Chain A
Amino acid sequence: MKKLLLALGVSVMAMAAQADPVKLVIWGLDGDNGLIPKLAKEFDDKNDDITVEFRAVAFDDLVNETLKAVATGNAPDMISLDNPDFAMFSSHGAMLDITDRVAKSQVIKPDSYYKGPWNSVMWDGKVYGVPKATNTIALFYNKDLFKKAGIANPPATWGELLDDARKLNDPANKVYGLTWSARANEEGTFQFLPWIQMSGGSFQKVNGEGAVKALDLWKTIIDEKLASQDVLSQGQWDSTGTFNAGNAAMAISGPWELNRMATDAKFDWGVTLLPTETAGGARSSAMGDFDWGIFATTKHPDEAFRMLEYFVSQSDRLFPEFSNIPARSDIALPSTGDARKDEALKVFQEQLKYAQPRGPHPQWAKISKAIYDAMQQALTGQTTAQQALDQAQATIDGILKG
């Protein structure tokens, strides 16, 4: 009798499992060439026991929506978050610790990832997520204008960058030497932090001698009108837009520019690594893009981890289908059919080896504001670079201590 009941129970449970598939909710960025909804749908279709629901959230709202959801117990099962925001959630225990699962996984191999992206999902020695994709910044240059100015090679050091910008600057034809973004938001920090890092600093130590030198260099470029003063208010996309239009000879930005540039730019262009402080000096760059994470509150951690493994297993499709660069060094990018793009991607992949995450720190946004505020104060001449960075350091020290 007991046995019978047990068997009955098992079969009822099995039936229930069949009738009632597990529902996973995933949130992610709206746009992004439809990456998340597409992969989520595939996983849904491949697994009869699981259904997946996707909610698209605008980039600007992603963190706020997530905070609100976590605070009110409405968190989804899984999410993809911008990497500097990830630590805020992992450090507060909002994300599921997947250290053991990753160690046992046949699919997720931490060693195959670039160091920078992988660091961004770590907190306190534990793994809380997996990088979705990655990107970084390097120097775009207009080969036609370089030829016209008689410059053979793109700049390799900060000094050469300034010299070349002076040579390429051509106000009569409305051409600036250089453009980048020093905007009062995360983009400004994204662009400036690599310079601090190249000179031996970090987000914890921003007022070193090299950082001051870098900021002074930026200021010289703006003061001598080698770049538009609007670098202070325009983002990277708009700034590179002026490069594409032929109004700047060099631009600092990332691989997300490639498709637009290939269509729009009516000149020959190339990409080179960010110039270093001195010849052969230390390299660094910024690291962008998102991380996958599973929420600690999920009722279905096993199924969510299976979905994560499915996403990771599709890494080789990231670039050809979605123009995302995998955060892994073991995946070769197939040719795009455009030699300039292929060439550029090689440079970006080389640059990625030196890319460092912003943070990880739970209060990254405040650290970032201290950095871009200081940068802008110096660039607008309100204080010297040294004073501005000293003040930023004081603010950052306060945050790191607290």
Chain B
Amino acid sequence: MRIFRSLTDGIGFDLVLVGAAMAFLLAMAGLPLVYNVLMSFQQVDMFTLGSLVRPWAGLDNYRAVIAQPEFWLVMKNTGLFVVGSIAGQFTLGFALALFFHQKFPGSATIRGLFLVSWVMPGLVVGGIWSFILAGDYGVLNALLQGAGVIHAPVFWKSDPNLSIWAVIIANIWLGLAFNMLLLSVGLAAIPRDIYEAAELDGATAWARFRTITLPMMRSTIGAVLSLGLIGTLQQFDLFPAITEGGPANTSNVSQYWAWQMSFKLYDFARGATISVMMLVLVLVAAVVYVRSTRSEVRG
């Protein structure tokens, strides 16, 4: 009876709530993680996927991955992809959130339309952007040429200097809805009267943004950036549709490379190794998020 009481009341109640969720997550996401980490230290034959006991390989897979001629190119692209996507998603998302924060007719309805990218199947998003970004029949070039911005077609997908940007553009589009929505929520949580007081004191719009909006939004921004980073690191639907990581790996990033290794080249050990290496990046995201929760203000 006392045990039951402690489960509905007191600390036991908290432990049950967190414990149930954690147990579920550890089983469904933790075990696959362990499986992959383990695999990165093993020799994996493609027909031994079903077992955990395989010959030990130590750090051989890690050495082999780093020794691949494309390793550093892929790392550089990954950095560019993450920074470019997040910078684009975040600044545009923030700008739109601020814009729609103004009260004007239809603001809520139109903002609702921006959530479209949330429900589009990845394969279709990739296909559409592949059409839009095509050099000759692509509509982006047609518009830019019509506006006189460019005079010759730009081969977004096939120019080795641009191919990674082709995927970044598509990914910014895809992630914008998420950024805008979360930042809108954060903005709405700031009491209006603080702004009104500042306005009376004669603070400019920029000063109000810097001294009120940004500090009050710190925790939201932390959540958006860290979730955005995780989302970006998992994004690979766009790659097979737009560039296949080419030309010559100039748009290949680690998550797509890992996927290629495992599911196109059937080298599961190296695929897992690359995934595990990406753990470091998610570690950064998790730390950013956890730190940002420290500056939360309780309502």
Interface residues of A (CB under 8 A from B): 60, 63-64, 67-68, 70-73, 88, 92, 94, 174, 176, 183-185, 228-234, 242, 245, 247, 365-366, 369, 372-373, 376-377, 379-380, 382, 391
Contacts and interface: CB of A to CB of B under 8 A. Distances in A.
A376 B160 CA distance: 10
Contacts of A245: 137
A23 B50 CA distance: 25
Nearest to A391: B69
Q: Which 10 A-B pairs have the closest CB atoms?
A: A184-B246, A71-B49, A376-B248, A233-B157, A71-B50, A232-B158, A229-B155, A184-B244, A72-B50, A232-B247
A204 B264 CA distance: 20
A67 B51 CA distance: 13
Nearest to B246: A184
A176 B130 CA distance: 20
Contacts of B135: 228-230
A88 B46 contact: yes
Nearest to A222: B158
Given A230-B135, A232-B157, A234-B134, 16 more contacts: A70-B47, A71-B46, A71-B51, A88-B46, A94-B47, A184-B249, A185-B244, A229-B135, A231-B158, A233-B158, A233-B243, A233-B247, A242-B137, A376-B246, A379-B247, A380-B160
Contacts of A366: 265, 267
Interface size class, chain B: 35 or more
B132 to A, nearest CB: 13
A251 to B, nearest CB: 14
Nearest to A241: B137
A382 to B, nearest CB: 6
B109 to A, nearest CB: 37
Contact of A229 (B159, B242, B249, B264): B159
Contacts, number: 98
Q: Which one of B51, B135, B136, B160 has the highest number of Cβ atoms from chain A below 10 Å of its Cβ?
A: B136
B263 interface: yes
B245 interface: yes
A187 B249 CA distance: 16
Q: Which one of A67, A232, A377, A380 has the highest number of Cβ atoms from chain B below 10 Å of its Cβ?
A: A232
Contacts of B40: none
B49 A229 contact: no
A242 B246 contact: no
Q: Which one of A70, A92, A176, A377 has the highest number of Cβ atoms from chain B below 10 Å of its Cβ?
A: A377
Contacts of B130: 233
Contacts of A365: 264-266
Given A72-B49, A233-B243, A373 B249 contact: yes
Nearest to B157: A233
Interface in B33-78: 46-51, 69-70
Nearest to A379: B247
Contact of A71 (B48, B157, B240, B243): B48
9 contacts: A64-B263, A71-B51, A184-B249, A228-B136, A242-B136, A366-B265, A372-B246, A380-B247, A380-B248
Contacts of A391: 69
A380 B247 CA distance: 7
A247 B135 CA distance: 12
A382 B136 contact: no
Contacts of B136: 174, 176, 228, 230, 242, 247
Interface of B: 46-51, 69-70, 130, 134-137, 155, 157-160, 163, 240, 242-250, 260, 263-267
Given A67-B266, A71-B50, A92-B47, A230 B246 contact: no
A234 B69 CA distance: 24
Contacts of A184: 243-249
Nearest to A182: B247
A377 B248 contact: yes
Nearest to A245: B137
Nearest to A179: B136
A67 B137 contact: no
Contact of A373 (B47, B51, B248): B248
A377 to B, nearest CB: 4
A331 B154 CA distance: 48
A379 B50 CA distance: 41
A385 to B, nearest CB: 13
A363 to B, nearest CB: 8
B266 A233 contact: no
Contacts of A64: 263
A382 B136 CA distance: 23
B160 A382 contact: yes
Contacts of A376: 246-249
A231 B160 CA distance: 13
Contacts of B266: 63, 67, 88, 365
Contact of A183 (B246, B260, B264, B265): B246
Given A71-B49, A72-B50, A92-B47, A233 B248 contact: no
A308 B51 CA distance: 32
A88 B74 CA distance: 27
A88 B244 CA distance: 23
Contacts of A379: 247-248
Contacts of B47: 67, 70-71, 92, 94
A74 to B, nearest CB: 9
Nearest to A388: B248
Nearest to B239: A184
A369 B69 CA distance: 13
A374 B243 CA distance: 16
Contacts of B163: 233
Contacts of B70: 373
A372 B248 CA distance: 8
A310 to B, nearest CB: 29
A144 B12 CA distance: 82
A391 B249 CA distance: 15
A68 B49 contact: yes
Contact of A230 (B48, B49, B69, B134): B134
A273 to B, nearest CB: 27
Nearest to B48: A71
Contacts of A373: 70, 248-249
